[in-house]
Structures are given as structure tokens and as C-alpha cells.
């Protein structure tokens, strides 16, 4: 399989979700916690690599608006729904809309690492009382597009030591990248992504540092680890609390001393400054998830970043206790 084909398979990854309107919101909108047929539940597929603000338009257009129309609720009655007021919740936890959907799923669905994913993913949708203390307020497609460009620039700086590749994009290219992401069009997105992150020969990593620049390899890997604090005290049945995840971000070099490829375990030790043997025991008791896949700790980090990156060009790795 070509590298492009592998990237597209990751791009095509979906999560089936089941949405239910929060009872309090239903009462405010319809004067009843029971929604009319056939609007009690809304099902859809969402891309793993994409963001919640890019699906709220579909949810509103295909579910909420027809439900209000059927119920006879009119905008003049003050019962309108703005996309920027919509937020999602899982088991009582507001979902951070600027995180990719697949990352949220890997962080919060506790049995993913055990091969027992929750499908469909059951979420509660809210249209009132936005939790401004827990989420960045007023999510919208435009705000998500702006934040995404900032993430792309950050990844570019980590990879190349500057944001030149992104900043040199024509305005039309930037718009195509964002349109491709929002519409989940691989062809549109990948045409511009391949300019920002050109393909390279993974075998070229095992080279001297002096030849890296000539080979076009990145200076470092944009990578973030997400690890639940106090994992040794967390039981399998415990619902992970997203606010307790520690996020470690450190530019990870491609190779270790001696030009050996950097592995996922090496990157984890580097990110958390683990130098003693107790760290090895901890790693043995944990699984590393990326794109819903349990990644062997000995996987070369360059292979991972070429194959399982998210749309923002970062590797988002979730570390969970499985013992």
C-alpha cells in the first residue's frame, strides 16, 4: 500500500454517534422532555480527524430545525438555535470542540484500549447554557478554521524551524485546505497538505545529522501525549475525566544518539523525562492509542507521523493504563 493510500484510510476513519437532546433544553424549546417522532435520537457518522463545529450545521439543519418546525415552534417566539450555542457532552463532560473527534473518543471511552469500543458513541447535545468555564465560548466554523490554521503553523514551526511552508501558501490554497477539512474532502485537503508536509523516504532517517538537511527530513516531530493523572489509582470501570489529562508537548527528534530511529517509547520517556527503570515498568502496564489503534511502543516515530497524523499535522497519542 502506498503512503498516500494509507493516509487516505486514516482520513476515512469514522465514528458512529448517537445524539440525544438534553432534557432541560427540550423542555425549554418544546415544553416537554419527550421529543416528537421521529426526532428522539439522531444518528450520524463523524470523521475521526475532524472537529465538532464542522458537524453542528448538519445537526441543526437535519435534526433540530425540522423538529422545531414540526412542533410549531417559531423564531418569533424566541425559540431559535444558534450554531455557536451548540455543545456536546459525554457522560456529564463537555467535549472540547477544538480537539479532533477521534482524540476525544480515545481519551474518554475507557474500553477502547481493551478492544471494546462504545459504538455508537452516545452523546448529549445542548443548545442552551454554554459552559463558558469549561469550553472556549462561541464555537463556529470560522473560529474553528482560524484555530486550525494556528495549529498548522505551530506544527510547521516544529517540523521545519519556521512557518514558511504555511505562510507561503497562496490565499486560495489556504482556503482549499480549510474547505477540504470542513467538507471532509480528501482530494482538496491532501493536495495542499502534501505541499506543507512533502513525502520523504522513511529509510532516510537512519543517516547522520549532517545529511538530514539535504534529505528534506523534518527537524522534529509535532507530537502530543495525553495521559490521565494518577492512572495507577484508576479502575477500568472509572470514567476518565478530561480535565485530569496531562498534555505533554515536546519537539521530538527523529533519531536517538547513534542515529537509531526514535520509537514511541523513546518519545514518551523524553516527553516525561523518564530516565530510570521504573519508567519501563510503567510503559509495560500502559497502551498507547493513536487514531483508535493500539500502537506498539517500539514503533518508529517517523513511521507513525507519516501514517497516523491528524489533520493538524500533529500526532496525538493517548496513554492509558491497561493493567
User: What whole-number percentage of the chain has pLDDT above 90?
Assistant: 65
Nearest Cα to Cα of residue 155 among 16, 15, 252, 70:
252
Looking at the predicted structure, is the pLDDT value of residue 209 above 50? no
H or E element, residue 126: strand 121-126
- The alpha carbon of residue 121 and the mean position of all alpha carbons in its chain are separated, in whole angstroms, by 15
Where residue 141 falls among pLDDT bands split at 50, 70, 90? very high
The pLDDT score that the predictor gives to residue 80 is 77
**Residue 173 confidence class, pLDDT cut points 50, 70, 90:** very high
User: Residue 277: what pLDDT?
Assistant: 64
Q: Are 22 and 125 in contact (CB under 8 A)?
A: yes
Q: How confident is the model over 163-182, as a mean pLDDT?
A: 97
Count helices and strands (H / E) in the chain. Answer: 13, 10
pLDDT class for 241, splitting at 50, 70, 90? Answer: confident
Helix 141-160 crosses helix 171-183 at what angle (to 10 degrees)? Answer: 120
Q: What is the pLDDT of residue 311?
A: 97
Judge whether residue 230 has pLDDT over 70: no
Mean pLDDT of 1-20: 93
Burial class (CB in 10 A: 0-12, 13-18, 19+), 5: exposed
Judged by average pLDDT, the poorest of 106-115, 254-263, 267-276, 298-307 is 106-115
At 73 the pLDDT is 64
To which residue does cell 514511541 refer?
A: 264
CA distance 225 to 213: 27
Model confidence pLDDT, tens digit, residues 23-49: 999 988 888 888 888 899 999 999 999
Look at residue 279 and tell me whether its pLDDT is greater than 80: no
Task: Look at residue 136 and tell me whether its pLDDT is greater than 70.
Answer: yes
264 CB neighbour count, 10 Å cutoff: 25
pLDDT at 226 over 80: yes
More confident: 184 or 285: 184
pLDDT at 301 over 60: yes
- Residue 70: pLDDT band (50, 70, 90) is confident
Amino acid at each position: 500500500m502506498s503512503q498516500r493510500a494509507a493516509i487516505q484510510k486514516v482520513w476515512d476513519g469514522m465514528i458512529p454517534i448517537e445524539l440525544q437532546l438534553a432534557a432541560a433544553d427540550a423542555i425549554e424549546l418544546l415544553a416537554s422532555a419527550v421529543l416528537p417522532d421521529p426526532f428522539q435520537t439522531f444518528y450520524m457518522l463523524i470523521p475521526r480527524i475532524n472537529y465538532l463545529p464542522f458537524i453542528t450545521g448538519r445537526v441543526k439543519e437535519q435534526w433540530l430545525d425540522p423538529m422545531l418546525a414540526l412542533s410549531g415552534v417559531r423564531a418569533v417566539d424566541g425559540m431559535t438555535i444558534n450554531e455557536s450555542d451548540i455543545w456536546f457532552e459525554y457522560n456529564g463532560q463537555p467535549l472540547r470542540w477544538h480537539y479532533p473527534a477521534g482524540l476525544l473518543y480515545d481519551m474518554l471511552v475507557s474500553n477502547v484500549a481493551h478492544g471494546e469500543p462504545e459504538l455508537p458513541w452516545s452523546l448529549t447535545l445542548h443548545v442552551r447554557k454554554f459552559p463558558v468555564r469549561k469550553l472556549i465560548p462561541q464555537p463556529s466554523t470560522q473560529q474553528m478554521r482560524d484555530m486550525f490554521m494556528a495549529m498548522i503553523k505551530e506544527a510547521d514551526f516544529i517540523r521545519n524551524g519556521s512557518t514558511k511552508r504555511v505562510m507561503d501558501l497562496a490565499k486560495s490554497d489556504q482556503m482549499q485546505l480549510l474547505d477540504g477539512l470542513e467538507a471532509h474532502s480528501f482530494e482538496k485537503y491532501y493536495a495542499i497538505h502534501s505541499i506543507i508536509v512533502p513525502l520523504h523516504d522513511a529509510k532516510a532517517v537512519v543517516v547522520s545529522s549532517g545529511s538530514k538537511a539535504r534529505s528534506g527530513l523534518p527537524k522534529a516531530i509535532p507530537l502530543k501525549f495525553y495521559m490521565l493523572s494518577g492512572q495507577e489509582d484508576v479502575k477500568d470501570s472509572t470514567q476518565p475525566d478530561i480535565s485530569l489529562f496531562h498534555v505533554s508537548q515536546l519537539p521530538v527528534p527523529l533519531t536517538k544518539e547513534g542515529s537509531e530511529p526514535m520509537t514511541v517509547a523513546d518519545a514518551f520517556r523524553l516527553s516525561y523525562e523518564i530516565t530510570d527503570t521504573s519508567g519501563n515498568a510503567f510503559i509495560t502496564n500502559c497502551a498507547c492509542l493513536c487514531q483508535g489503534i493500539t500502537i506498539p511502543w517500539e514503533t518508529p516515530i517517523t513511521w507513525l507521523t507519516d501514517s497516523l497524523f491528524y489533520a493538524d499535522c500533529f500526532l496525538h497519542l493517548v496513554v492509558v493504563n491497561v493493567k
